[in-house]
């Protein structure tokens, strides 16, 4: 609140400027980041506060927004406060999510002038900004997931197809954490994810469990790696033939995938029959015939060897073709979403509760004008409702002029009329959002 005071300008009039907005807290997707480590050091973050308005109609500056960089693949969930339950999914470089909005500034007294009120001696308070807690989860963003039994040769394939250097060893569960690698072709790049081996019962926790499958939930293609020589890794061929063992190994993994997540089980497949250098051509050919009878003509089946390099070129061509074709199919005239390649990495709409994409999130306080009146005892009325409570919060009710302004607003909202209908008399006490004050206004509008 301010009045112009200057020599030779008597009755300069109100000149209080508005307060500035509080800054927003914004998460920005930064492709140069790989993890959330930078956010470990601090737990509290706040954006800049808006500056109070000044005399001479100077508005206060807006608060600086706080920009926090997160890596692609970060999923964000509001877990407390006003932002509870909101979700964002940051996948593309430069994408932004306003996770908590700054409050709006209060208006200076100049704004409350009217023909009747030429010198308002009150101003409005600013509204507090949003606050709350966020949970940040990083999920790998890969186009292709490698799945199979432990020791099937998944990490060896990743190492041969990309420049990644995952640990490879002749025992199960060599891979404990997912590894990523980039396969480059002329038409583009495809990110491959190698994950730990699955075993029977993984979906209920056996072996390393199936939690890491979350990392390949957003892939668009799975390579199911089947070891052509399981007996050399110590798997007994009991009773049945090698062919039957290969098929039952395949079925076991497929079952675990389906138990983990139906969508994962629905993804397109490529079958890689690995370690072909360890078996004769007859066995490899027989396996191809058996698998194609099982899965039909739409699933490519490739015989590969990470030792000799056989079949790896064909596998690379197949992966590049399938993933890049899926990308262009989804990018076809679908606007910005598809060009971010979200189409290729996120589940189809309706398949599951899909988090909103950061670009499309916009939250405004709902305009809810409802209110309720209670009349606990003679001479006392309690009014509750978001709009009236917000109105009261923003003014100093010790200030007679501010109360008179509030009265006018209450009358327009119909609150005074409603109070009268309940037996309100001028001078009765009115309680709104923790404040109690006497209202003398009549209900005339």
Ligand X SMILES: Nc1nc2c(ncn2[C@@H]2O[C@H](COP(=O)(O)OP(=O)(O)OP(=O)(O)O)[C@@H](O)[C@H]2O)c(=O)[nH]1
Which one of ligand X, Mg ion, none is in contact with 55 (Cβ closer than 5 to 8 A by kind)? none
CA-nearest of 95, 223, 59, 236 to 155 is 223
Question: Measured from the CB atom, is 109 or 155 closer to Mg ion?
Answer: 155
271 bridge partner residues: 224, 301
45 binds, among ligand X, Mg ion, none (CB under 5 to 8 A by kind): none
Q: Does 274 contact Mg ion by CB under 5 A? A: no
Q: In terms of CB distance, is 95 or 274 closer to Mg ion?
A: 274
Question: Considering beta carbons, is residue 151 or 220 the nearer one to ligand X?
Answer: 151
Other C-beta atoms lying within 10 Å of the C-beta of residue 411: 17
Q: Of 96 and 174, which CB lies nearer to Mg ion in the complex structure? A: 174
Distance of CA 125 to the CA centre of its chain: 33
Cross-strand partners of 430: 381, 437
- Tell me whether residue 315 or residue 416 sits nearer to Mg ion (CB atom): 315
Instruction: Compute the distance between CA of residue 414 and CA of residue 48 in angstroms, rounded to an integer.
Output: 37
Residue closer to ligand X, measured from CB, 191 or 357: 191
Work out how close the CB of 138 gets to ligand X at its nearest, in angstroms, rounded to a whole number.
21
Q: Residue 170 CB, nearest distance to ligand X (Å)?
A: 3
Q: Name the residues that contact ligand X, by CB under 6 A.
A: 148, 150-156, 168-170, 172-175, 196-197, 274-275, 277-278, 305-307
Task: Identify the burial level of 424 via C-beta atoms within 10 angstroms of its C-beta, where 0-12 means exposed, 13-18 middle and 19 or more buried.
Answer: buried
- Does residue 345 bind Mg ion (CB under 5 A)? no
The contacts found for 256-261 with CB under 8 angstroms, 24 or more apart, are 256/198, 256/199, 256/200, 256/201, 256/202, 256/203, 256/210, 257/147, 257/198, 257/213, 257/222, 259/203, 259/204, 259/210, 260/202, 260/203, 260/210, 260/213, 261/213, 261/217
Residue nearest to ligand X (CB): 197
275 binds, among Mg ion, ligand X, none (CB under 5 to 8 A by kind): ligand X
**Is 233 near Mg ion (CB under 5 A)?**
no
75 lines the binding site for Mg ion (CB under 5 A): no
Among 75, 77, 96, 174, binds Mg ion (CB under 5 A): 174
Nearest alpha carbon to residue 39 among 5, 64, 66, 79:
66
Q: How far is the CB of 133 from ligand X (least distance, A)?
A: 36
Work out whether 175 is an interface residue with Mg ion (CB under 5 A). yes
> Under 8 Å CB-to-CB from 254, ≥6 apart: which residues?
224, 265
What are the two backbone dihedrals, phi and then psi, of residue 112, each rounded to the nearest 5 degrees?
A: -105, 15
Q: Which does 173 bind (CB under 5 to 8 A by kind): ligand X, Mg ion, none?
A: ligand X
Tell me which of 2, 74, 109, 155 binds Mg ion, using CB under 5 A: 155
Nearer to ligand X, 193 or 441 (CB): 193
| Residue 74, contacted partner among ligand X, Mg ion, none, CB below 5-8 A by kind | none
CB of 358 to ligand X, least distance (A): 34
Reading phi first (left if > 0) and then psi (alpha if -120 to 50, else beta), residue 305 is in beta
Looking at beta carbons only, is 247 or 304 nearer to ligand X?
304
**Residue 102 binding partner per list Mg ion, ligand X, none, with a CB distance cut-off of 5 to 8 Å that depends on partner kind:** none
DSSP-assigned states of every residue in 61-93: PPPPPEEEEE-TTEEEEEEEETTTT-EEEE-ST
Binding partner selected for residue 62 from Mg ion, ligand X, none, CB under the kind-specific 5 to 8 Å limit:
none
- What is d(CA 216, CA 52) in angstroms, rounded to the nearest whole number? 49
CA dihedral 166, 171, 177, 182 (to 10 degrees): 30
Tell me which of ligand X, Mg ion, none is bound by residue 150, counting a contact when its beta carbon lies within the kind-specific cut-off of 5 to 8 angstroms.
Answer: ligand X
Q: Cβ 171 to ligand X, closest distance in Å?
A: 7
Task: Report the C-alpha gap between 72 and 91 in whole angstroms.
Answer: 5
CB of 156 to ligand X, least distance (A): 3
Q: What are the two backbone dihedrals, phi and then psi, of residue 190, each rounded to the nearest 5 degrees? A: -130, 135
As measured in angstroms, the least distance from the Cβ of 242 to ligand X is: 16
Instruction: Please give the Cα distance from 107 to 115 (Å, whole number).
Output: 18
Element (DSSP H or E) covering residue 436: strand 435-438
314 interface partner picked from ligand X, Mg ion, none, CB below 5 to 8 A per type? none
Q: Is residue 179 within the footprint of Mg ion (CB under 5 A)? A: no
Q: Which is nearer to ligand X, 95 or 219 (CB)?
A: 219
Closest CB to ligand X among residues 305, 330: 305
Enumerate binding residues for Mg ion (CB under 5 A): 155, 174-175
């Amino acid at each position: 609140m301010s009045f112009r005071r200057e020599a030779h300008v008597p009755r300069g009039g109100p000149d209080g400027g508005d307060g500035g907005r509080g800054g927003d807290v914004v998460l920005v997707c930064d492709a140069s980041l790989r993890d959330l480590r930078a956010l470990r050091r601090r737990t509290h973050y706040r954006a800049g506060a808006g500056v109070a308005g000044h005399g001479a109609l100077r508005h206060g500056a807006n608060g600086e927004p706080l920009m926090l960089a997160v890596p692609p693949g970060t999923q964000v969930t509001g877990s407390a406060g006003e932002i509870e339950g909101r979700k964002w999914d940051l996948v593309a470089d430069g994408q932004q999510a306003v996770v908590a909005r700054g409050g709006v500034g209060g208006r200076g007294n100049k704004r409350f002038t009217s023909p009747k009120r030429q010198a308002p001696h009150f101003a409005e308070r600013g509204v507090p900004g949003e606050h709350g807690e966020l949970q940040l989860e990083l999920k790998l963003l890969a186009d292709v997931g490698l799945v199979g039994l432990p020791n099937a040769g998944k990490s060896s394939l990743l190492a041969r197809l990309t420049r990644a250097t995952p640990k490879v060893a002749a025992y199960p569960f060599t891979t404990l954490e997912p590894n990523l690698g980039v396969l480059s072709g002329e038409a583009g790049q495809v990110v491959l994810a190698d994950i730990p081996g699955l075993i029977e019962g993984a979906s209920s926790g056996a072996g390393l469990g199936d939690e890491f499958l979350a990392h390949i939930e957003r892939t668009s293609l799975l390579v199911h790696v089947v070891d052509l020589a399981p007996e050399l890794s110590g798997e007994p061929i009991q009773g049945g033939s090698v062919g039957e063992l290969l098929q039952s190994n395949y079925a076991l993994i497929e079952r675990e995938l389906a138990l983990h997540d139906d969508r994962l089980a629905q993804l397109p497949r490529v079958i890689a029959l690995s370690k072909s250098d360890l078996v004769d051509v007859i066995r490899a050919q027989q396996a191809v015939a058996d698998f194609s009878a099982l899965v039909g003509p739409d699933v490519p089946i490739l015989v590969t060897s990470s030792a000799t390099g056989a079949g790896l070129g064909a596998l690379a061509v197949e992966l590049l073709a399938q993933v890049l074709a899926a990308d262009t199919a989804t990018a076809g005239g679908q606007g910005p979403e598809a060009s971010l390649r979200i189409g290729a990495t996120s589940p189809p709409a309706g398949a599951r509760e899909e988090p909103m994409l950061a670009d499309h999130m916009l939250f405004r306080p709902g305009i809810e004008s409802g209110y309720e009146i209670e009349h606990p005892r003679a001479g006392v009325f309690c009014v509750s409702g978001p709009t009236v409570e917000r109105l009261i919060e923003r003014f100093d009710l010790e200030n007679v002029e501010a109360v008179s302004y509030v009265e006018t607003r209450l009358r327009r909202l119909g609150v005074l009329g409603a109070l009268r209908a309940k037996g309100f008399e001028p001078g009765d006490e009115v309680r709104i959002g923790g404040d109690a004050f006497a209202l003398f206004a009549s209900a005339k509008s």
